[in-house]
Structure 1
Amino acid sequence: MRSADLARLAGVTVRALRHYHQVGVLAEPPRAGNGYRRYDVHDLVRVLRIRRLAALGIPLERMPALLDDGADDAHGQAGAEAGAEAGASAARLLDELDRELAEQIDRLVRQREVVAHLRAHRAAPDLPPELAPAAAAFAAASGSPELVRVDRDQAVLVSHLVGEEGAQHLAEVFRRLSAHDVLSVLAPLSVRFARLDADTDDAEVDEVVDGFVEVFGPVVAELATTEAPPGFDRAAVFLAEHSADVLGARQREVLARLQERLERVAASPGRAGPGAAP
């Protein structure tokens, strides 16, 4: 039979047959006078075995030991020993495959848990799952789609830069900022922050800065008693670079003044109110 006939009978493509030849799991048969390869029923059996092993997840490069299992030499002592070794090798491979599949199942279960967590909070799928509840609360309270995107991008950025060691600390910061009593004050401030532009007067900027200090100050003062894990300083540098690209001049001014005020609060955590750092 020709390659097209073999492919049709085995349920594969001609291209797959060529790949089997290239990787060495299927020997190339002799060609007829017209140049076409001539396959027989033994080749069909071989391809069917390859398909069965592939369905189990066994990679092609590991198949020769199973396909060439010494069955042709099964007569006599040497053949028996070869068959026993092939059986032991197959058992080891199946044990290893079972472990790999168990690990894949565990990984898929964890992925489903993350997906369920993100769905429950209607959070973006690219958000770190530990930040999803807070980020979703921020997004719901925000009056600006632009700021929602900025918050999302910065959450992704900071979460990566602080790493696993800082993830819990970062999640705690987000959790406290998304508490109902904090968010109820933060939401209207965020709306005012989003509206800042070149025409905003100094009085409005001062009020927004004071408002943020009043919201963030107690959280910063409380967290100042515990040392932030490594990575937060580096994250602050990249956050500043990101903010410089996506925020207006007045908004950046608010952030700069806010950072200065909060640094003073952190240095003197007992003074967290709006008058803590005039």
Structure 2
Amino acid sequence: MLSSELAELAGVTVRTLRHYHQIGLLPEPPRSAGGYRNYDVGHLVRLLRITRMTALGVPLSALPAVLDDPAAAEELLDELDRQAAADIERLTARRVGIAALRRSGAPPDLPPELSAWRSAPAAGIPADMARYEHEQLILLGHLLGNDGPAGAAALFGTANDVMATSAPLTARFYALAPDTPDDEVASLIDELVAHLKPVMARLAVLSPLDAQALALIDELNELTLRPVQHRVLRRVQQRLARPDVRQLGQQHRAVPHA
């Protein structure tokens, strides 16, 4: 049979046949007087074996060693089964994350564990501050590492109480402008410090972040916030007992996403 006929019977392409010849998986048959490859049923059977094993996940590089060695094939199947189990676990975790995002209404680029710390869409906060909250939570979720967001969420249980009590402070922070009176700025700093101290105490059990992580958070604050807002955050950080990402990052949700 011709290569096109063999490919059609096996459910592959002629290009695949040529590739298998090139890497030595499928022996090349003799050519006819007209220069065409002349395949027989033996080639079809070997090709069916190859396609069956690749469908199971056997890499092409492993096929030469296992096609004609039952013992090697058994060991490879054990490894494939372990890989499949890991893939199932990874995909199950992905579905859990997708479900959590759907329940919270959070966008897919945000860690589900931190989605509750966003301001509600109906909160009426300025668009630039909503974007700041979102970007800060994304950065914070990454800097906390794989288990950090879940650990923070477990410590708080729910963000609702913290968010409810911080809403007035958040509004005042977002309203800061170059012409805000100094006494209002000083008063807000005092109240933020008082509000954040117990929050920081709960987060103190989490591992602190390194200097680079803190610098990145501060850079985002400086890039996004008004100068007076950035100064307020810096002053609050200085007055809190433990100046790390929880003060720069959880000032994020406990206040404005200050």
Same fold (TM over 0.5): yes
State the AA in 1 paired with 2:126. Answer: S
Are residues 146 and 15 of structure 1, via their aligned partners in 2, closer, same or farther at CA, if it must alter by over 3 Å? farther
Q: State whether structure 2 residue 129 is matched by structure 1 residue 129.
A: no
Distance 1:262 1:164 in 2: 26
Q: State whether structure 2 residue 195 is matched by structure 1 residue 215.
A: yes
Distance 1:236 1:52 in 2: 52
Question: Identity of paired residues, percent?
Answer: 45
Distance 2:89 2:139 in 1: 27
Post-superposition CA distance 1:67-105 (Å, at most 9, x none): 3x2xxxxxxxxxxxxxxxx33332222222222222222
After superposition, where does 1:42-191 map in structure 2 within 5 Å? 42-67=42-67, 69=68, 86-132=69-115, 134-136=116-118, 141=123, 143-163=125-145, 167=149, 170-171=152-153, 175=156, 178-180=159-161, 182-191=162-171
CA contact (8 A) 1:142 1:148 kept: no
Are residues 164 and 5 of structure 1, via their aligned partners in 2, closer, same or farther at CA, if it must alter by over 3 Å? closer
What is the match of residue 15 of structure 1? 15
> Structure 1 residue 252: deviation in Å?
0.9
Are residues 106 and 172 of structure 1, via their aligned partners in 2, closer, same or farther at CA, if it must alter by over 3 Å? closer
**Which of structure 1's runs of 4+ aligned residues deviate more than 4 A?**
136-142, 164-169
Are residues 99 and 166 of structure 1, via their aligned partners in 2, closer, same or farther at CA, if it must alter by over 3 Å? closer
Are residues 245 and 8 of structure 1, via their aligned partners in 2, closer, same or farther at CA, if it must alter by over 3 Å? same
What is the match of residue 233 of structure 2? 255
Are residues 164 and 93 of structure 1, via their aligned partners in 2, closer, same or farther at CA, if it must alter by over 3 Å? closer
Tell me: higher relative CO, structure 1 or 2? Use CA pairs within 8 A at least 6 residues apart.
2
Post-superposition CA distance 1:36-94 (Å, at most 9, x none): 43333322222222111111111112222343x2xxxxxxxxxxxxxxxx333322222
Distance 1:265 1:240 in 2: 12
Structure 1, unaligned runs of 5 or more: 70-85, 267-278
Q: State whether structure 2 residue 11 is matched by structure 1 residue 5.
A: no
TM-score when normalising by structure 1: 0.72
State the AA in 2 paired with 1:126. Answer: D
